[in-house]
Amino acid sequence: MSQIKTSTMGIPSQVVIVGGGTAGWMAASLLQQAWSQESDASTQITVVESEDIGTIGVGEGSTPTLREFFRKLGIAENEWMPKCSATYKCGIAFPGWLNGNGGSPDGYFHPFFSPLDIQTGEAFMRNACLKRRGVNAAVQPDDFFVGAQLSRQYLSPRLNVSLPFEPEYAYHFDSALLGKFLRERAKKLGVQHIIGTVSDVKRTTTGDIECLYLSRDKRPLKADFFIDCTGFASLLIGKTLETPFYSYSDNLFNDSAVAIASPLDNTQPIPSHTESTALSNGWAWKIPLTTRNGNGYVYSSGYQSAESAEKELRAHMGVSDEVEARHIPMRVGSIRQHWNHNCLAVGLSQGFIEPLEATALMLVQYTLTHFIKAHALALSKGNIEHYRTGFNNNVSQTFAGIRDYIVAHYQCNTRTDSDYWIDNRSHNHISDNLAAILQCWDQGGDFEAELCAQKHQQVYPRPSWYCLLAGSGRFPVSGQRIENAHGIVPTPSAAAREYTAKMSHKFQDHRTLLQTMYGKNFISKGFAPQ
C-alpha cells in the first residue's frame, strides 16, 4: 500500500505535475484552488514543463462542463476568452454521415439541451418513439432545439433578455493560448514553474515514485504526489509505473489525424457550432476562432495513408500545399488505474477517445474533480485503497460511456461509398451496454427504461441519444408497425421551428457579442497558423 505524506490538514505537502499544456495547468489550477482553502495547508505545487517536448494542441472544442471549471475558479468569460481567441459553441453539426438518398438529410445537429428545449425537446423524443413504432412523425433534431436555430442564424448562446435560467453552451478556443493563460494565472497564485525535461524517475521500495531527475539538473526533484500530464508518452503512469493500457482499436478504427489551420473571412458571420463532416475514411473538423479556423481530418491508417488523408483534407478545405499540415498519431484507449500508487494520470497520459464530441477536456476536468473528492475521503476515512479503487472504476466507466456514444455514431452511419463506412457499421466489436441500447431502439422496446437502467454506465443524457439515433434515421422500414401508438399525435416540425425561431430573438448575434467583449483586440493579430 502506497503512503502519502501530508500536511497538517491531510493533503500532500509537495505535488509535482510533469507536463504543462492545458491538462497540466488545469490540474495545477484545480488542485491549488481546492487545497489552498485549507487554512493551515502548506502544499507546494510545481509544474515541470519541457521546452523540448511540444503539446498536441489541436483540441479546440469543449462540452458545457468547461463552464463549471471557470466558474469554480472564479474566472469570468471576458477575462479568459479574449486571451484565447475563444468563441461560443451551441452544438455540433454532422454533415455527410448519412447517404441522403431520396432527398432526406445527409446529417443532423447535436445541440446542448437546455431548459428552453423542454417543451419541443420532449415533443421530439415522443415523435422519435412514435416513428420507431411505424408512425409518420418529424424526427430531425435540427427542427426541435433552440441551439440548432441559433447555429443557423449565427447567434450566440448568450441571452439579450433576463430569464430565470440560462441555456447550456460550450466554447471553441486556442488550446495553446488557454494553457498559457492558466499558466500565468497559476504562477501568480504561487504555483512553481520549472522548465526542464525529465531524464530519470526513481521509485521507492514500495513502488511509489520518490523523485525525478531533470536532464539539466542532477539534483532530485522530490514530491509526495505526482501528476502525469506527459501526453501520449505517459512517462510516469505508463513507463515508470507500468500501468497497463487498453486499446479501443477493436471499437474505434481511427488512429491518426492531420491538422491544417485556415484564415477567417472577417466580413462574414462567425459560426457558433463545430462542424464534423464525414469524408472517405473518417471525418473532418472545422472550428471557428476569432483569429482562424481550426481544421483537421481524423481517419484510420488501416484504410488510408497519411499522404492520401492530407490530400483529401486539402481538397475538402480548398487550400494549397503551401499551407502547413501537422500529422498526429493517436493512441486511442485508456488505462484503468488512473490513480496508481502516488501518481494520478490526467489528459492524454490516461487515455484518449477521438475528438468527435470534444470530450478531452471534460475527461481532464472529471478526473481532477473526482480525484480531489476521493482523495479527501480516503484521508478522512483512513482507507486509501478503497477510495482509490472506487475512483479508478468511476473514471474508467466514464471513459467507457463516452466510447460507447462515439462508437454509436459509426454504427448509425448509412454511407455506402467506402469500405471504411460499411465496416464501421457492420462490425460487432461493441460493448454489451451499447448493444443493449441499439437492440432496444431497433426492436421498439422501452427505450426510456433501457436508458434508465444504464444511467450509471452511460455519460450522455437521453436527449443526446435520441438526437444521435433519430438524427441518423435509424428506424424500421416504412409501413412496418411494431405496436399500436395509442392514438398519440406527433408534433409537426413546423410548430417546433416556429417556437425555436421565436426563442432565437432572445439571443445576441455571435460576432457582435464577441466584438463587444474583445473591444479593440478583436481579431487584432490576424491569422497566425498554429
Q: What is the pLDDT of residue 1?
A: 41
pLDDT of 411 higher than 50: yes
Q: Is 89 a known active-site residue?
A: yes
Backbone angles phi, psi at 9, to 5 degrees: -95, 5
Q: What is the mean pLDDT of residues 20-31?
A: 96
CA distance 24 to 349: 11
pLDDT of 184: 97
d(CA 227, CA 65): 22
Q: Between 253 and 215, where is the model more confident?
A: 253
Residue 482 predicted with pLDDT over 60: no
User: Model confidence at 528, in pLDDT bands (50, 70, 90)?
Assistant: very low
Q: How far apart are CA 225 and CA 237, in angstroms?
A: 12
| Residue 474 contacts residue 507 (beta carbons within 8 Å) | no
Summary mean pLDDT of the chain: 91
337-351 per-position pLDDT tens digit: 999 999 999 999 999
Buried b (16+ CB within 10 A) or exposed e, 177-204: bbbbbbbebbeeeebebeebebeebeee
Beta strands in 50-116 (DSSP E): 87-89, 91-94, 108-111
Question: Is 290 known to sit in a ligand binding site?
Answer: no
**Residue 314 CB coordination number (10 Å):** 18
Question: Model confidence at 523, in pLDDT bands (50, 70, 90)?
Answer: low
Which of 3.50.50.60, 1.10.10.10, 1.10.340.30, 3.40.50.720 is the CATH number of 14-60+174-249+332-402? 3.50.50.60
Q: How far apart are CA 161 and CA 130, in angstroms?
A: 36
pLDDT for 89-133, tens place per residue?
999 999 999 998 766 789 999 999 989 999 999 999 999 999 999
Question: Is 506 within any annotated ligand binding site?
Answer: no
The answer to whether 346 touches 230, Cβ cutoff 8 Å, is no
pLDDT in tens, 279-332: 999 999 999 999 999 999 999 999 999 999 999 999 999 998 888 999 999 999
Is the distance from CB of 212 to CB of 16 less than 8 angstroms? Answer: yes
Single out the catalytic residue among 5, 89, 202, 222.
89
Q: Pick the more confident residue, 164 or 138.
A: 138
Whether 20 has a binding-site annotation, put simply, is: yes
User: pLDDT band for position 382 (50/70/90)?
Assistant: confident
Cell numbers given for 13: 505537502
pLDDT band at 41 (very low <50, low <70, confident <90, very high): low
User: Cα separation of 527 and 291, whole Å?
Assistant: 5
> Percentage of the chain with pLDDT > 70?
92
Q: For the residues of 6-39, what is the DSSP string, one character each?
A: B-TTSSBSEEEEE--HHHHHHHHHHHHHHHTTST
Sign, Cα dihedral of 54, 233, 255, 28:
negative
Q: pLDDT at residue 529 above 60?
A: no
485 annotated as belonging to a binding site for a ligand: no
Q: For the chain, what is the largest distance between any 2 Cα atoms, rounded to a whole number of angstroms?
A: 78
pTM for this predicted structure: 0.94
pLDDT at 37: 63
The secondary structure element, H or E, covering residue 41 is none
Kindly list the domain boundaries of the chain, sorted by start residue. 14-60+174-249+332-402, 87-172+431-508, 256-328
Beta bridge partners of 203: 209
DSSP 330-390: ---EEES-SEETTEEE-GGGTEE--GGG--HHHHHHHHHHHHHHHHHHHHHHT-HHHHHHH
58 is in an annotated binding site: no
Three-state DSSP class for residue 225: strand
pLDDT of residue 527: 44
